[in-house]
């Protein structure tokens, strides 16, 4: 299950395996939320075409302004482990920025040498995927980017405009949502698309899929032994007190 925003300023939950979208609520920003990302702790954030950063209530869709990044249109947004990364819509070269979720302050990380990035998804700490415009305003090229050096590789031409995409952390499937409401699986090797279904004709702007929650720590056998000994001792003490 993921979260997605459309051009109507609406936040949805989306079942990506069945292509079903459920309306949560309107963000009421008065702006297009072009970027959407969920933190490892479950906090939902969005960036507008004005450069504003918002926190978003996952239950109601209501957006709260954090601040202005000063970057203008940020259309790619995703978490790289615990760091919120955003990509600016620059006509000549897109830059990845880390964005402070308390102050909205951006810090440049790496430049790609590619312009007009429409969507971005982090695969692992050193690799991200972006869609860029070819032709203009269509997000039709799939490119991988090294997040350390900025080196990039053209992977393929997309048959539909992809402005919303993210990785499923369990299967590592790259999902995309299109400008006509299609839910697709993106082949990471060549950019070919496999249709899952249509969510209802929305013009999707971005998609985010929650990361896998950390599993609770399992006690070591020695810890269990100590715990058992302690409980046995406590029981014996209580028996002596009662005698």
Residue 49: closest CA among 106, 8, 88, 101: 88
The CA dihedral of 225, 227, 231, 232, to the nearest 10 degrees, is 20
**Cα separation of 237 and 239, whole Å?**
5
**The pair of three-digit structure tokens given for residue 58, joined into one six-digit string:** 């996952």
H-helix or E-strand spanning residue 24: strand 20-26
Is-contact 78 109, C-beta < 8 A? Answer: no
CATH among 3.20.130.10, 2.120.10.30, 3.40.50.2300, 3.40.50.80 for 2-242 = 2.120.10.30
All structural domains of the chain with their residue ranges = 2-242
pLDDT in tens, 146-190: 999 999 999 999 999 999 999 999 999 999 999 999 999 999 999
The residues pairing with 71 across neighbouring beta strands, listed in sequence order, are none
Sheet with 74-80, side-by-side order of all strands: 74-80, 83-88, 95-99, 106-111
Residue 215 has pLDDT above 50, yes or no: no
pLDDT in tens, 83-118: 999 998 877 788 999 999 999 999 999 998 888 899
């Amino acid at each position: 299950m993921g979260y997605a925003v459309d051009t109507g300023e609406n936040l949805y939950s989306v079942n990506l395996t069945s292509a079903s979208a459920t309306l949560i609520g309107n963000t009421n920003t008065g702006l297009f939320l072009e970027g959407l990302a969920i933190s490892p702790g479950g906090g939902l954030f969005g960036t507008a075409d004005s450069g504003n950063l918002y926190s978003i209530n996952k239950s109601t869709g209501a957006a709260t302004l954090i601040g202005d990044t000063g970057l203008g249109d940020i259309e790619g947004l995703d978490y790289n482990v615990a760091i919120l990364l955003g990509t600016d819509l620059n006509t000549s070269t897109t830059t990845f920025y880390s964005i402070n979720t308390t102050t909205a302050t951006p810090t440049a990380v790496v430049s790609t040498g590619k312009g007009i990035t429409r969507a971005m998804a982090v695969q692992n700490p050193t690799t991200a995927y972006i869609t860029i415009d070819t032709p203009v305003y269509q997000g039709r090229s799939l490119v991988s980017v090294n997040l350390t050096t900025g080196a990039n590789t053209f992977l393929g031409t997309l048959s539909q405009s992809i402005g919303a995409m993210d990785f499923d952390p369990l299967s590592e499937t790259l999902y995309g949502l299109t400008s006509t409401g299609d839910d697709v699986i993106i082949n990471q090797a060549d950019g070919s698309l496999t249709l899952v279904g249509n969510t209802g004709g929305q013009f999707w702007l971005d998609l985010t899929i929650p990361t896998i929650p950390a599993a609770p720590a399992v006690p070591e056998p020695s810890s269990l032994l100590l715990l058992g000994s302690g409980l046995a001792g406590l029981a014996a003490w209580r028996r002596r007190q009662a005698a």
